[in-house]
Structure 1
Amino acid sequence: MKIVALVLTLCILGYANANLSAGATTSISGYYNVNKTTDANLFYWFFEAQTNPTTAPFIIWLTGGPGCSSELAIFYENGPFSLSEDMQLVNNPYSWNKVANMLYVDSPVGTGFSYVSDPNGYSTNEEEVAANLYSMLSQFMADHPQYAQLPFYVFGESYAGHYVPALSYFIYTKNQDPYSVHFNLKGLAVGNAMVYPAIQYGSMGPMAYSHGLIGPLALKETEGLVGSCVDAINSGSYNDSNTICNEIMNVIQENAGPFNPYDVRKTCPPSLPLCYNFTLVGDYLAQPSVRQQLGVPTNVNWTLCSNVVYADIINDWWNTEVAHIPILLEAGIRTLVYNGNMGWICNYLGSEAWVSQLEWSNNQQWNNAPRKIVMTGQNIGGYTQSYGGLTLMAVNNAGHMVPMDQPETSLNMVISFLNNKF
């Protein structure tokens, strides 16, 4: 089995917003045009906080891929509902919109329900992704000024480890301009995220070994490839990096068999490209009545993960936006890095490695900070290490998609982060 290099872990222009309701949840969906030249349109789905929406924090959520839809998170992770087998909405008691206003965006352009008329409108780097998202957010806040000055947080999963720091830094720099839209940016968070490939690829062998997927000889073989992988990444050659670094993954797969890279406790069914069956959400979103309510044009089809988006931005894979994080931390913008401890790709060891090496004024204090146990009821929910606004959390018994595997722990985590309680 070859692991596809696709990391999970996502205009009111001619289409009216749809006001939907799921239980006690008010939602708004639609499009904002972020590039008139290429007719690039980002799709969003907003869920108002169930409690005190005029004062609750505001979170934008971005799913990774690159090119995977944020509807994945809505229906399978932290949205207000899931789907029953007969495609009925089922209330999610651990929805994050219990405590925050949640805005899910299909980004980059072309992801999910987002679309672009001119192929030149697809994003090829993080600057373009961030600029498009900033345009969309500015228009959304202008149309809904009641949310404009709420505490603002950028969250994302997996390849959104590229998007989240890029967008957060873009907003931070725009906030310095008195003529730009100001966001009350308070924090950013990434879950099982690919943030710093040059460091994280070196963690794949030790993570596989620690879970008994490979033996010492295979581990040694992966360790022998790490130096060449790092050199290739630093050279800036995408082809060399792709060939050499992915050989680390190949060695592990050949020795470990068809394990699920998103959850090492499971086998990856050969019939499922992403190891999980997400067909239900595609069937639900294909219904004409649902599409009409969401304000989706008849000629736009939903895709779970877009190969076109992936192909256009994939040269960005080996880059990193990690340098933005120390600047944001020094400015008082808090950062949460969390990982399900059963996820192999974008794993905890890799996150711990890059976080511990961040070049900021509190690096030594953070590395010397005590590790704390986090309880979920009578069970250990995970472990945290925190200092100076930076928190690293390992979530017990969770894979790549933490809110799906441990919904209660993930909601408690968000509550703690939003309230600066770590």
Structure 2
Amino acid sequence: MGRLSFFLVSVLIALPLFCGHSALAAGTEDGSEQWGYVEVRPKAHLFWWLYKSPYRVEDPSKPWPVILWLQGGPGASGVGLGNFLEIGPLDGDLKPRNSTWLRKADLLFVDSPVGTGYSYVDDVKDDSLPVKTDDEAAIDLTTLLKELFNGNMSLQQSPLFVVAESYGGKVAVTVGLSILKAVEAGELNLKLGGFALGNSWISSEDFVLSWGPLLKAVSRVDSNGLNDSNSLAQTIKQQLAKGQYLEAEQSWEELENMIRASSNDVASDFYNILLDQRNDPIISSTSSVASKATSVQRYSKHLYSFRPTGAEDDVSILLNGVIREKLKIIPNNITWGGQEDIVFPAMIGAFMKPRIQEVDELLAKGINVTVYNGQLDLICSTPGVEAWVEKLEWEGLKTFLSSDRYPLYCDGDESVTKAFKKSYKNLHFYWILGAGHFVPVDQPCISLEMIGNITQSPNNS
């Protein structure tokens, strides 16, 4: 689908899709896409975008799933990054993506928390409007889901799978418990299929403790760098034990700066241990529209300070240009990413807090939880993920840990191992080889097969 046909199918629907006074929505003429705003609190508005899959298979015994994608940051835009740079139908140049996850499910992108992407608050100077915690972000998302699912029989028949990346994983497990509470109270009508936590920032302590040893093992730091890293990581561990989350975040920034200096800028975004800062996988995977200089500068707070002076963010150009023209409902005073500066500062006190307990609670309730991680990620490293998984108190953990894992391949080619998988009951773990932080970008084939297995899509044979 080229740029011209992209606009030809994007005719605005004049009638609202929802009857609630707090919702504004539109979509394409053929109904394949819907998008809109939900006022989740007075003066706080979340933007969502739903794609209906053209690959849908009608199977009464196995309903077609919906994936809710939650981006990281906090403050990164799922509508912008997850959609156009990772798993949506079109890439950053508005060309078809062969590996789109629409092959396995409908896709729902939400710019969360408020202030992210197209989402906004009416008054950026009102400190009460941005969310301060993962729980507050989860409540807003639950409010949005009530507006979308309640009264929509089509969505209610589809199991919802929450798939998260990076900091989005913390919000995902928190919103999971919020969703279950709302369903049990009869306030939300949906079927929860499960959760997939991709390179997720679940336990900051376990990640920072892993950084030095991992970088030493691949020769990006020497013994001096290892000792310096371990020393700062221990300081962070002590601060977290005392509940000093703001101090721990400051030490985390100090640790990142130290690692950059001692490793000669190992991917200054910390997203791939084998790359220098100019070779980010998302940046190198896109060309004209998705910037080779700054396309992921919005992904996390520590990236922002490394944005080249005066550089234009071409993802921003895309979202504030042709995409805004397509959507038509973005308020005149709102730009994509225009309120990003309010998001992280508001949540800074929550950033370093772990969410292992929430994973435990979901597992104890019998909810399917999948953990997947790119082998080459640093910020949410696989050793760090393994460490927090081993801290779970779930009754099946001992058997899970002692179980064998098995290799996975792609397209019938068993000459190249693409991943390993281990499962026991409702806990599943994928080790994705050759991938950094952005697994769907680095390994699109195995990622697509994995998400088909997670969602049990009818065409996943």
Q: TM-score, normalised by structure 1?
A: 0.88
> CA-to-partner distance for each residue in 1:148-182, whole Å, 9 max, x for gaps?
132111111111121111011111222221x3113
Deviation per CA, 1:385-408, whole angstroms, max 9, x where unpaired?
221211121211111111111111
How many residue pairs end up in the alignment?
401
C-alpha contact 2:149 2:189 (8 A) present in aligned 1: no
Distance in 1 (CA, whole Å) between partners of 2:262 and 2:354 is: 29
Q: 1:166 is paired with a residue of what secondary structure?
A: helix
Q: 1:247–1:176: structure 2 CA closer, same or farther, 3 Å change rule?
A: same
8 A Cα contact 2:211 2:381, kept in partner: yes
Instruction: Tell me the secondary structure at the aligned position of residue 380 of structure 1.
Output: coil
* Residue number in structure 2 paired with 1:345: 379
Aligned match for 1:416, one of 433, 449, 453: 453
Within-5 A mapping of 1:73-222:
73-84=82-93, 89-118=94-123, 119=126, 120-142=128-150, 144-177=152-185, 179-222=186-229
Corresponding position: 1:248 with 2:285 = no
Aligned twin of 2:431:
394
1:26 aligns with 2:63: no
SS at 1:136 equivalent = helix
> Matches of 1:294 and 1:64 in 2, distance apart?
26
Alpha-carbon distance in 1 for matches of 2:391, 2:23:
48
Structure 1, residues 185-208: CA drift from partner, whole Å, max 9, x if none? Answer: 121111111101122211111221
Specify the alignment match of 1:310 in structure 2: 344
- On the 8 A contact 1:68/1:305 being kept in 2, the answer is no
CA displacement 1:73-100 (0-9 Å, x = unmatched)? 111101111132xxxx211111111111
Q: What's the C-alpha RMSD, in Å, of the aligned pairs?
A: 2.4
2-structure distance, mates of 1:338, 1:229: 25
Partner amino acid, structure 2, of 1:128: E
Opposite residue 168 of structure 2, the aligned amino acid is A
When residues 253 and 185 of structure 1 are mapped into structure 2, their CA distance, relative to the original with a 3 A threshold, is same
Q: Which moved more, 1:73-82 or 1:231-240?
A: 231-240
Higher strand share: 1
CA deviation vs aligned residue, 1:345-385 (integer Å, no higher than 9, x gap): 11111111111221110111011011211112322111122
Q: What is the alpha-carbon distance in structure 1 between the residues aligned to residue 312 and residue 95 of structure 2?
A: 16
Distance 1:152 1:16 in 2: 21
Q: In the alignment, which residue of structure 2 is the partner of 1:231?
A: 238
Deviation for aligned residue 1:330: 2.0
SS at match of 2:349: helix
Corresponding residue for residue 375 of structure 1? 409
Give structure 2 stretches of 5+ with no counterpart.
1-19, 280-292, 298-302
Instruction: Say if 1:20 and 1:317 are closer, same or farther in 2 by CA, change over 3 A.
Output: farther
Matched residue type, 1:42: L
Distance across 1 between alignment mates of 2:259 and 2:274: 15
**Aligned equivalents of 1:206 and 1:372: distance in 2?**
26
Among residues 41, 45, 48, which one is paired with 2:49 in the alignment? 45
Q: What SS does the corresponding residue of 1:131 show, helix, strand or coil?
A: helix
For structure 1, list consecutive stretches of 5 or more residues without a partner in the other structure: 1-10
Partner-residue secondary structure (3-state), 2:45: strand
Where 2:333 maps in the other structure, the secondary structure is coil
SS at structure 1 position matched to 2:115: coil
Give, in angstroms, the shift of residue 416 of structure 1: 1.3
- Once the 2 structures are TM-superposed, how far is the Cα of residue 13 of structure 1 from its aligned partner? 4.8
- From the superposition, tell whether residues 280 and 26 of structure 1 become closer, same or farther in structure 2 (CA, over 3 Å): farther
> SS state of the match for residue 263, structure 1?
coil
Q: What TM-score do the two structures reach when normalised by structure 2?
A: 0.81
